[in-house]
Amino acid sequence: MEEMQGDLITSESLKKDFESLGIKPGMTVIMHSSMKSLGGWIAGGPVALILALEQCLGENGTLVMPTHTPDLSDPASWRLPPVKESWWNPIRETMPAFDEDLIPCEGMGKIADCFRKQTGVIRSSHPQVSFAAWGSRKAAIIRNHSLTYALGENSPLARLYEADGYVLLLGVSHRNNTSIHLAEYRAAYKGKAVVVNKAPVYINGEKQWVDFVDIDIDPDDFNLIGDAFERDTNHIRRGKIANADALLMPIQPLVDYAAVWLEANRK
């Protein structure tokens, strides 16, 4: 029988990597991650990584992950790929309403989808851009997530900003850096548009499609923002978690910088 190849990655080696990057007890961290980027063979898979990070944060720390479900939306708006118009009504009729415990977030990666099911983790109730949280500040971060303007001032992102939180990018780029969306809400840039989204939710136990307004968010220039933020400030720490490139940065200066950048550069 052929032996396993590559590096052996354990919870202990992951803890050392997180600590070397700058993760400390009591921090509030939102993590965006790619399991594949870690390489090697992880004893315990995503569970080992989650537990290692939580142990580094300790009982006074808080861990947050995006658990977004963009597929819970009106099929008439789908573009990647679009679906034929004759399918729209059947999809609307049969699509399940958002359920915090049941609906997976597979598009956010294996780690986030595993994390949302951990005992003690709570998840916000937004049908498209929910967040899950563990730790001492989880309720303060997650509660009162607004249906409208869902990544703005009444969102977990704004609560993370107020909590002096940090962003951890693990094997992903700034395009995945959800916290920059908060800057989109705060910045006044040309072409900023309001859109109406739709999603199925439960109201008094009954599935209903609801409309809600938001701004038209766009991450296409987030890598430019992240690169400029790193070039112009000393706030980003780089390191390795197993074989993955990792970046750790404070949310407040990131969002403040991004808002100014957007006003100057977004067309």
Q: For position 5, what pLDDT does the model report?
A: 54
CA distances from 239 to 23, 111, 244, 248 (A): 11, 19, 8, 8
Q: Where are the alpha helices (DSSP H) in 95-179?
A: 110-115, 138-142, 156-162
Q: Kindly tell me if the per-residue pLDDT of 2 is higher than 80.
A: no
pLDDT digits (tens, 9 = 90+) for 33-83: 999 999 988 999 999 999 999 999 999 999 999 999 999 999 999 888 899
Confidence (pLDDT) at 6: 65
Dihedral of alpha carbons 187, 193, 199, 202, sign: positive
Exposed e or buried b per residue across 164-192, where buried means at least 16 C-beta atoms within 10 angstroms of its C-beta: ebbbbbbbbbbbbbbbbbbbbbbbeeeee
Tell me: pLDDT of 170 over 80. Answer: yes
Percent of the chain with pLDDT over 70: 98
Question: Closest Cα partner for 8 from 38, 45, 41?
Answer: 41
In this prediction, residue 150 carries a pLDDT of 98
Question: How high is the pLDDT of residue 237?
Answer: 98
Average pLDDT, the chain: 95
| pLDDT for 195 | 96
Which tens digits make up the pLDDT trace of 100-149?
999 999 999 999 999 999 999 999 999 999 999 999 999 999 999 999 99
User: pTM for the whole thing?
Assistant: 0.95
Q: Is the pLDDT of residue 214 over 90?
A: yes
User: Rounded mean pLDDT of 258-264?
Assistant: 98
Q: Is 38 strand, coil or helix?
A: helix
CB 178 within 8 A of CB 32: yes
Q: Quote the pLDDT of residue 79.
A: 84
133, 63 in Cβ contact below 8 A? yes
For residue 22, the one-letter residue type is: G
